[in-house]
Amino acid sequence: MENCLSAYNRTDTLGKSQLDLILQVYDGAIKTYTQARESYDQKDTEAGFASLEKAQRFVTHLFTTLDHENGGEVAENLSRMYAYIINETEGVKGTKDTNKLGAIIKILGNIRSGWAGLRDNDVAGDKKAPQEATETSGVDGFAVTA
């Protein structure tokens, strides 16, 4: 069963655009930070910690796949933001401060909205001029690692 799930996930990932993959990582991070907040609110610190660990892996993935060479200032700003989120996450593990989790979720949601806007513009551009599509190695500071 696990092999089937792994094959499905691999196929699902291969069929997505780079922007869709980035959005998928943001969605995972936001979902697990939200789960952590809910767990801590319900006094389930073990589940909250586990969700924080998972959420932090999503942000670490975003951080480590930044393409500083081609991403310029965007990559540098995202790098600082991800480092801040990772640092705040470490603090929440000790304090269980759900207010910080709310701030992290809001930050990630705002950045995700920007990526979604890029994707929507990209999709609209593809409909207008499909013959102009070119292959790229990265999108605004990200390299595909799928």
Confidence of residue 96 (pLDDT cuts 50, 70, 90): very high
pLDDT value at 138 more than 50? no
Residue at 48: amino acid letter: G
* pTM (whole model) above 0.85: no
Q: CA 102, CA 124: separation in Å to the nearest integer?
A: 33
- Among 85-99, 103-117, 132-146, the minimum mean pLDDT is found in 132-146
What is the identity of the amino acid at 53? E
**Over the stretch 1-32, which tens digit does the pLDDT of each residue have?**
666 545 445 555 566 888 999 999 999 999 99
Please identify which residue in the block is written with the tokens 């990772």: 86
Distance CA 143, CA 118 (A): 16
132: left (phi over 0), alpha (psi -120 to 50) or beta: alpha
**Closest residue by Cα to residue 78 from 40, 35, 123, 110:** 110
